[in-house]
Amino acid sequence: MVIIDGYRKSWALRYIREAKDELKMSQKDSESTDLIVDAARKAQAAIYYSLGEPSSIEGIVNETTNATNGASFVEDPILRCLVEIERTLKRMENQQVSSSAEALVEADEIVQIASQIVDLLTSGD
């Protein structure tokens, strides 16, 4: 059973690989918050590619994020996860994290979650 087509699978795997590499580089240079955020954004892109059409998923996540206006409850568990990742990324981009170390921990968590999702959805071959 194929869950994801070859095109999206290759992009998802590429983005997750790049996210992991950038996260490793940012651990060596912990002051590089741009690299930390970039790694987390690539992990997010990997999730979007593994789930379907990235621009459609991004639109749904942004619409839900704006509609809930800071409320933490989104009923659908997958959408809730995507919304929480988006909120975390926005906080990181707006430098609302207290330190580079905190940003690194949050980005690492996002990359791990993304890696698990991508592995799950691309392992059907």
Please answer whether residues 104 and 27 qualify as being in contact, where contact means their C-beta atoms are separated by less than 8 angstroms.
yes
Nearest-Å Rg of the Cα atoms of the chain is 14
- The two three-digit tokens of residue 81, written as one number: 């996860």
pTM as predicted: 0.90
- What are 11-23's pLDDT values in tens digits? 999 999 999 999 9
- The two three-digit tokens of residue 98, written as one number: 């207290």
Name the DSSP letter for residue 113: H
Of the candidates 46, 57, 56, 61, which has an alpha carbon nearest to the alpha carbon of residue 119? 46
Give the confidence band of 58 by pLDDT, cuts at 50, 70, 90.
very high
Is the domain 6-122 a CATH 1.20.120 member? yes
